[in-house]
Amino acid sequence: MDWFGRAKINFTHGPSPLSLKKKDGSTTDLAKLAKESVPTCQLNPLLFNGHVQTMWTAVKEHGPPIYYRRKLFESNIKAYAGTFAVDFAVQPHQDADETLPPRTTYFDDKTFSEIGSDDTRPMLIALHGLSGGSHEIYLRHAIAPLITGDGNWDVCVVNARGCANSKLTSAVLFNAMATWDARQVINWAKETFPNRPLFAVGFSLGANIITNYVGEEGVNCPLKGAIAVSNPFNLEVSNKGLQRTFLGKEIYSRVMGTNMKKLIADHKEEILKYTNLDYEEIQNTTYLYEFDRAVHTRTWGWPTENAYYRDASSSDAVTGIRVPFLAISALDDPIALGEAIPFGEFEVNPYTVLCTTSLGGHLSWFEIGGGRWHAKPICNFLNKLASEIDLGAITPNEKIPTKSLQFKSEFQPTRRKMRLITDEA
């Protein structure tokens, strides 16, 4: 039992976690580093379970003020044509743009053309949750300590297409396996800031995407570390769990479906112009799975929403990760369910560590006074990786230790059953 909001913390990892060399010459391993990064989880005792924690997010406290400048990126992949918005955390400014979220304005072309640098500051690329954006309070809580006070980080947020008041400019929407925009920004950052160690963090749907990304990249991943927070992992299991209970279906699935319908309604003109989606059918949906059926099966070619969920899930991708990776999940999360967490996959991949808390809800972890606990392990883990670990000494291995096999075989954790046919194929 959890007393007065004190959550139990457990770690799941393999018997031989990734060995890490410190800059002072000593050694540690990924599991020890993760455990050192995770403080006691003391949450608000009045928010005594995952439902109350999650529903408390509807109370719109201001959160830390983060200022952004936005740059629109043009996709460099023909198959995924269109633009997407990337918001860069900057020093406070007085510029205002009423068409964008609070404290956000555009870069002018000259300033952005000079953004490149040879400095060695660590840089974080963040991905938000379903229908969210750089303005989300849970995201701002997580990045604020990295860029304020003694923080020495540069941070940018990749907004999903159409989110955070960005415009749709093609028929390409986002989905749970849409790694292409994040990949483009990470590659751009590596070229623009060649000496910076790059890291990534994803929240909820963004956590699923970043997990898929690092799994797809494998030994070639340009990141030095990544974090997934409140990842639904197995989308089919999470969807069935939502439909199984009244609160899951009539509150969470309904609210998420409504938010996605509103997103489509905000872009009605573009949806009618660029896509062959049935706008009225979408607006007549109620639950998230109905929305996914009306949008993703028609857009991408999955025969059912469950085929989409199976294909886009990131649970298998965990075994393909070859950079230091920390996942943070609450076991009482009513949206990214505990039963969807791939515990076994974390146990066989030495590059990964899973941290679970018994309390916290979905992207919540509210502390007494309104703070968000998840910001602490995120910032601690990133700062330890960037400041204490000799990142250049990490040599990713294509294979991870396995049991002796009867037959020659190779499991490809991120092989997709559905392939988009493109001119480049």
Catalytic residue list:
204, 333, 362
Rg over alpha carbons for the chain, rounded to the nearest Å, is 21
Q: How far is Cα 105 from Cα 11, in angstroms, rounded to an integer?
A: 41
Q: At what angle are helices 305-312 and 235-244 packed, to 10 degrees?
A: 130
Q: How far is Cα 182 from Cα 126, in angstroms, rounded to an integer?
A: 9
* Distance set, CA 401 to CA 14, 118, 341, 349 (Å): 11, 37, 22, 8
Strand partners, 200: 125, 226
Q: How far is Cα 313 from Cα 132, in angstroms, rounded to an integer?
A: 19
Angle at 338 between CA 301 and CA 310, to 5 degrees: 15
Q: Is 12 left (phi over 0), alpha (psi -120 to 50) or beta?
A: beta
Q: How far is Cα 387 from Cα 365, in angstroms, rounded to an integer?
A: 26
Q: Which two tokens stand for residue 331?
A: 């076991």
Q: Which residues of 79-96 are buried (b: 16+ CB within 10 A; e: fewer)?
A: ebebbbbbbbbbeeeeee
Name the maximum alpha-carbon separation found in the chain: 66
Q: For residues 53 and 370, is the Cβ–Cβ distance under 8 A?
A: no
Q: How far is Cα 336 from Cα 356, in angstroms, rounded to an integer?
A: 12
Q: Nearest CA to 142 among 191, 92, 199?
A: 199
